[in-house]
Structure 1
């Protein structure tokens, strides 16, 4: 499952992902980070195709490590 998103400067990504409210970055940060509208993130959530999120009270949050893995899935090498 490969995703193509705008390139995110490597030195900026950790700061965005770690500068968040308790529990992880929210939908607005994820949408901005990936360069997609918030409605796209909502659709991913409904269809269960996007990064997995979790609720903190009434707010949806994303685990920074899980988000990184979803953005850049592991590369399988073939011989």
Structure 2
């Protein structure tokens, strides 16, 4: 998945996804040449983990 794809799925700005990738806190990513990419399964797992963590903190 591209940065733009992840931004759309997570309903956040592209800049937020770039920030996650550089500073941590988002789904795992990797560089393919100069382009950042995300594995779709990793993104879905990260979303599910984030949702579960939010549910516990309420």
Name the TM-score, length of structure 1 as normaliser: 0.59
Quote the residue 1:42 is aligned against. Answer: 18
Count of paired positions: 51
1:1-79 matches, within 5 Å, as 25-73=1-49
Q: Which runs of 5+ in 1 are unaligned?
A: 1-24
CA RMSD between the two structures = 1.5
DSSP 3-state at the match of 2:49: coil
CA drift at 1:56: 1.0
CA drift at 1:37: 0.3
Q: Which runs of 5+ in 2 are unaligned?
A: 53-58
CA drift at 1:71: 0.4
**Consecutive aligned runs of 4 or more in structure 1 exceeding 3 Å deviation:** none
